[in-house]
Amino acid sequence: MLENILGREIVAKVTDFNDKYIFAQVDGLTFRMARDELLKAPKVNSSLKGFAYINDNHQLQLTKKVPKVQVDRYAWGTVVSSRKDLGVFVDIGLPNKDIVVSVDDLPELPQLWPQKGDKLMIGLSIDAKDRMWGKLATPEMFQTISGMAKKNMQNKNVTATVYRLKLVGTFVITDDYYLGFIHPSEREVEPRLGEVVKARVIGVKDDGTLNLSTRPRAYEAISDDSQMILMALQHTSAKQLPFTDKSSPDEIKAYFGISKGQFKRAVGHLMKAGLVKQVDGFLILNEN
């Protein structure tokens, strides 16, 4: 009977109330609602509308704080904790109840489980024992709610949430609801399910989905010495300086304040990243 009541917004008939709770029945089952959720106590036999669930004390409860996550309604929840033998607990906004996403629906590797603060898009399901579980949104559901990215997103920075882990790579949805994919070669570590990641767009496919990378851009990965030389080049009108790895140690030390060895390593990194070149005794900034 509870299977068709829990996890939904229902209407019950008020039977009693006290200073702490209002009691209401539906189909012979008595639910309680915290008295402070209403401005004034309703009359006995009047209707009371609220979201039905079983709280952490195993009591039938109604709340006016109706969560977006319901049976057959999917929305984001925030992970608050986990238990290896059970799964992860997700806050969907209920006063005294977190929802469990079963270990059966989580990655096999525990290090890829969602951690506190991660986000999962879930709906609710009720099992034969009237327990309420979190149910992960399917890839098809993400496809339905996503939009088509435009070509001008190339090289843009995005924030995205991981919703699926596969051997071929990581599937994410951005804050603007574009679907994205991170190939294993474009990440330094595999993100967790539910992890919010910062990425950049390295490709916009014809179907409006994004190829993403969480690896740093070349200039972000370079050393402090390389960054300093790069900035020096950027602040010259000609975008070039009369220094190369053939310059004397004294000249390099006087201008940059670093040794020739440091200078050569830094310039090597910049050249490898395609940011500079050496031509006829000059270090030149690559503009494209």
Q: List pLDDT tens digits, range 209-225.
A: 999 999 876 556 567 88
234 membership: H or E segment, kind and range: helix 224-234
Mean pLDDT of 159-174: 97
Determine the residue type at 222. I
169 membership: H or E segment, kind and range: strand 169-174
For residue 269, pLDDT over 90 is answered with: no
For residue 264, pLDDT over 70 is answered with: yes
Q: What mean pLDDT is reported for the chain?
A: 93
Mean pLDDT of 30-57: 94
The pLDDT value recorded for residue 100 is 98
Instruction: Pull the structure tokens for residue 171.
Output: 């599937």
CA-based nearest residue to 245, from 288, 198, 219, 278: 278
Domains and CATH numbers, the chain: 2-63 (2.40.50.330), 75-137 (2.40.50.140), 146-213 (2.40.50.140), 222-285 (1.10.10.10)
* C-alpha distances in Å from residue 178, one per residue of 32, 77, 161, 162, 200: 41, 19, 11, 12, 13
61 torsion bin: left (phi>0), alpha (psi -120 to 50), beta (else): beta
33 membership: H or E segment, kind and range: strand 29-34
The pLDDT value recorded for residue 274 is 84
The pLDDT value recorded for residue 192 is 97
Task: Report pLDDT digits (tens) over 53-92.
Answer: 999 999 999 999 999 999 999 999 999 999 999 999 999 9
